[in-house]
Chain A
Amino acid sequence: MTSTYSGDGAGLTFRTGDLPDGLRLAVGGEIDFQSAHVLRARAAGPAADPALARLVLDLTDVTFCDSSGLGALIALHKTRAAAGGRLELAHVPAPLRHLLRITNLDEVFTLIDEPV
């Protein structure tokens, strides 16, 4: 089952899908100074939900991410950790992967490439 949500502004798109043991949230568009807070707001609920065994953020369609976007991802990671879970980043595009590496955040996040 896949449901599609249109973003509530700043060009981001979100799609959610159920996983056997959790939730998959697909993000699309440019995560920047203008849009990062939208991602933060949209993902904060699932991230804080201790009932979810898994939370996978599918970044396949992220065309740009800057330091503001990284800030949003870290915030979600911390929220998730506080809820006793972890945030998985799936299908991170090469530019974002590079960004994570140069900011040493690739150690912080769990990156997965298998289809979810």
Chain B
Amino acid sequence: MTPQEPTHVPDPTAALDATGGYDLATFSLSDTVRCGRDLRHAARGAPDLHSAAQAVVDYLVKALHGGDDGEPSCALARLFLTEPAGDADAPDRYLGLAGTAGDVPDLALDRYRRIPLADVAAGRTAPLVAALLRELGLDPAGILTGVGLPSWFGVLHVPDPAGSPVVAEQAFVADHRVRSIVGFGGALTGADFFAVLLFSRTPVTAQTAELFHSIAVNVQLGLLEHAPVDEPTGRVERRLAWERLVGAMESTLTEQALRLESSVTDLSRTRDRLVTSQHRLTAEAELVETLYSVGSKLSAVLDLNTLVQYATDAVTRLVGAAFGSFFYNVTDENGESYLLYALSGVPRDRFERFPMPRNTQVFGPTFDGTAVVRSADIRTDPRYGHNPPYTGTPPGHLPVVSYLAVPVISPTGVVIGGFFLGDPEPGRFSDRHERIAVGIAAQTAIAMDNAGLYRQQRHAAAELQRSLLPTLPVLPGMTLTSRYLPATRGYQVGGDWVDVIPLPAGRTALVVGDVMGKGMKAAAVMGQLRTAVRAYAGLDLPPAEVLRRLDTLLGQLPVPQLATCVYAVHDPLADTLSVASAGHVPPAVLGGDGTVRYVDDRLGPPLGVGSRPFVQRRVPFGAGAALLLFTDGLIERRGQDIVDGLSRLAAQLAVPADSDERLVDRLVAAAEQSDDTAVLLARWRPTTPRRTAACRLAPSPGSARAARRFVADTLRAWDVPEDLVADAVAVADELVVNAVRHAGTDARLRVHRADGRIQVDVADHDPRLPRRIPTGPYDEGHRGLQIVESLSHRWGVRATEDGKLVWAELRPAATGAAP
């Protein structure tokens, strides 16, 4: 024990177990201190010098490892000690292998157990040891004599031993994957010294090798405990060794500190660079986000005026200009006028006194779309003031000093206009401001283009829809509620339609149809079909016949087209609905008692398919009943079939509503509206009692007179005004005369009164239809229908199941001759 050393000596191996050893790849200053201390203790704690030497290499093999897998770094660790000088008879000095550990501790023992220092000095053997000694400053003479030894220690670093001339054991290096060799050594007492060689599988950097200086001194101190010393010399050696240790630590610390400081400097520089680029990135991100935000808002605005104002406000705000404006690139005949459209930051009247921007050098590049003009002070710009009689801005003009103008160019390359931004302070607009303005100009151009297109399309579609959709008539007793909803997406008009056509005898045709496809073509076909339906309704054809003719018509179109349709006729006299369907979603009949029934059996084929006949059904339709006609948009839902849709609709219809308006609104609100939807609800609620009377007439000349009596008596009993009675009598007379004269069959005469109107009809069993024949002044016949036409509001004939029915309707207002 020496007084300098702590009395408590911890077991270095135990310490190792606790720390897990040292990773040579990341060998740090603190590792150096702890590892050195452990080595010193291991050596000092050994019973003698040679045991100490073995303890040192054992420790190094055990303590040093590389990487995460913890493989021992040292393939071989050896410690050589000079043997004590011999007597005069044997003056040669030797280096002896005092400790060896690792994968092959016995490697080439013959060669290295006892190496003559003369051979080392002459380079005949152990070139590594020679290199180490040379590294430590010993010349061959010094090696032999030990002169110059007393105060050295040092480190040899062979970073890449494979093929190195100083490494003799190349086979071992290769077999054991030795990547670096570290050697260190130092003086003991007198001329003696030690040398340690580590064959490391872990690559050792030059920096790590440097740290072995303090390891070397620690080993030196540990070994000195056992050196054969005479007391005074030993003390000196130990004191020197301590000084060396402190010196080594200081130099290592200094070096580490310098390295640390330089790292810190580097780090701080890197950090500054990072912060700078972070700022730049943040600014970029903000710019992108701003433009994106403005762009998405712009693209959502489809009204051009709103759009331009929004864009002008945005660009003015974002570049921090005192005022900004947008001018349309509208030129007059002189090519010199631009249209002020939006102004931001100043009231509009500030501009109204000035001529519009003219085709000057300053404005030219903007309206030509050739360049962005940015000036820190426009007054000093060479392009400024070349527009006689003006030399610069007109008096009273906004005080523009900083100036930025950006053209707005449409995707098709047309210069729509430009943003003009100004500020009374010089140098307000930066590169970044310019980029913002250019970005917003680009977004604005696209949005304006879209808005323009949208407006055109929307206008065309809306116009078409308006022209094609019916104005529902006002019918006594029939409440009509209809909705047409375009699909929520897109602007294409659909081929859906509903129609209501008043028929004679208070009957009404209720129609819904859907031309398959979308767009102008479908709408055009829809228009044709709708007109055709009205024409056939005018002929008062039965529903199945109307569909048959539509089918033929559609089949004759140059481009084949399919359509579905329901044609229903309400007959208030019979309280029935005659329905025929061509492949359409079934209409629903809502009974006055709240029942809901689809007229869905035996659907006919769609129109345009051809050939098959259509079926006509008659269903009860009394007071309070309603018919719901709709297109499939009302019930369609993605992922659901039509049956589900119909069930859902039936459930909705079963829930009572305050009014038909509310009911239809509810149905429409529940619809997904992925397709166009047309809905018509027709509810029959007769407002005044309808009266009917009928009589049978034989085909004899006296029937006319009988008919006149019947009509006059009936209408007088109904309190019909006398002039209307007279007309009705005259009309009935002519109709019956026609039946008697031309049909020669039994006839049925009916009179109806509803809402002040009188209808007279005569049905016979002759299918031939009467014709109105033009008469000359001296013709004696053919005046019957002329009289009917003159006296009635309207008249007509329709085929019945077994003949025909001729009818005429009279209204009080229509009484008398036309003016």
Contacts and interface: CB of A to CB of B under 8 A. Distances in A.
Interface of A: 30, 32-34, 64, 66-68, 70-72, 74-75, 77-78, 95, 98-99, 101-105, 107-108
Interface core residue of B737, B779, B783 (most chain A CB under 10 Å): B783
B777 A66 contact: no
A58 to B, nearest CB: 21
Given A66-B734, A68-B737, A71-B781, A103 B787 contact: yes
B702 A34 contact: yes
Given A33-B704, A66-B733, A108-B778, A103 B817 contact: no
B723 to A, nearest CB: 9
Contacts of A105: 777
A98 B817 CA distance: 8
Contact of B790 (A66, A70, A102): A102
B734 A74 contact: no
Given A34-B702, A98-B816, A67 B791 contact: no
A102 B729 CA distance: 16
Contact of B787 (A30, A34, A99): A99
B705 A32 contact: yes
B780 A102 contact: no
Contact of A30 (B705, B726, B775, B783): B705
B741 interface: yes
A107 B777 contact: yes
A32 B738 CA distance: 12
Interface of B: 701-702, 704-705, 708, 726, 729-730, 733-734, 737, 740-741, 775, 777-781, 783-784, 786-787, 790-791, 816-817
Shortest 4 CB-CB distances between A and B: which pairs?
A: A71-B780, A102-B790, A67-B783, A34-B701
Contacts of B783: 67, 70-71, 103
12 contacts: A30-B705, A32-B708, A33-B701, A33-B704, A33-B737, A66-B734, A67-B783, A67-B784, A78-B778, A99-B787, A103-B786, A107-B777
B704 A74 contact: no
A108 B776 CA distance: 11
A100 B737 CA distance: 19
Nearest to A32: B704
A102 B781 contact: no
A60 to B, nearest CB: 18
Contacts of A98: 816-817
Given A77-B778, A103-B783, 16 more contacts: A32-B705, A34-B704, A67-B734, A67-B737, A67-B781, A67-B783, A67-B784, A70-B783, A71-B780, A71-B781, A78-B778, A98-B817, A99-B787, A103-B775, A103-B787, A107-B777
A70 to B, nearest CB: 6
A93 B555 CA distance: 58
Contact of A67 (B778, B787, B816): B787
B791 A102 contact: yes
B791 A74 contact: no
A101 B781 CA distance: 16
A73 to B, nearest CB: 9
Contact of A102 (B726, B734, B779, B787): B787
A31 to B, nearest CB: 11
Contacts of A103: 775, 783, 786-787, 790
A107 to B, nearest CB: 7
A76 to B, nearest CB: 10
A75 B628 CA distance: 58
B817 A101 contact: yes
Contacts of A107: 777
Contact of B780 (A33, A74, A99): A74
A63 to B, nearest CB: 10
B778 A95 contact: no
Nearest to A81: B778
A64 B711 CA distance: 14
A84 B817 CA distance: 33
Contacts of A34: 701-702, 704-705
A30 B791 CA distance: 19
Given A99-B787, A102-B817, A64 B780 contact: no
A33 B730 contact: no
A102 B734 CA distance: 15
A95 B728 CA distance: 12
A74 to B, nearest CB: 5
A101 B790 CA distance: 10
A95 B705 contact: no
Interface core residue of A67, A74, A108 (most chain B CB under 10 Å): A67
A99 B778 CA distance: 15
A75 B786 CA distance: 18
Contacts of B780: 70-72, 74-75
Contacts of B701: 33-34
Contacts of A64: 708, 729, 733
A33 B740 contact: yes
Nearest to A64: B708
Contact of A33 (B729, B741, B775, B787): B741
A4 to B, nearest CB: 23
Contacts of B787: 66-67, 99, 102-103
Contacts of A33: 701, 704, 733, 737, 740-741
A101 B704 CA distance: 23
Contacts of A68: 737
A70 B784 CA distance: 10
A3 B790 CA distance: 38
B733 A32 contact: yes
B777 A108 contact: yes
Contacts of A70: 780, 783
Contacts of B791: 102
A62 to B, nearest CB: 13
A41 B778 CA distance: 18
A74 B783 CA distance: 12
A102 B727 CA distance: 12
A65 B817 CA distance: 17
Contacts of B729: 64
Nearest to A95: B726
A80 to B, nearest CB: 12
Contacts of A108: 777-778
Nearest to A78: B778
B311 to A, nearest CB: 70
A99 B730 contact: yes
A70 B780 CA distance: 7
A2 B775 CA distance: 38
Contacts of A74: 778-780
Nearest to A74: B780
A107 B778 CA distance: 11
A48 B261 CA distance: 148
Contacts of B733: 32-33, 64, 66
A77 B790 CA distance: 23
Nearest to B786: A103
B114 to A, nearest CB: 156
Nearest to A11: B705
Contacts of A67: 734, 737, 781, 783-784, 786-787
Contacts of B778: 74, 77-78, 108
B699 to A, nearest CB: 12
Nearest to B787: A67
Contacts of A75: 780
A28 to B, nearest CB: 15
B730 to A, nearest CB: 7
A51 B267 CA distance: 145
A30 to B, nearest CB: 7
Contacts of B816: 98
B381 to A, nearest CB: 88
Contacts of B702: 34
Nearest to B791: A102
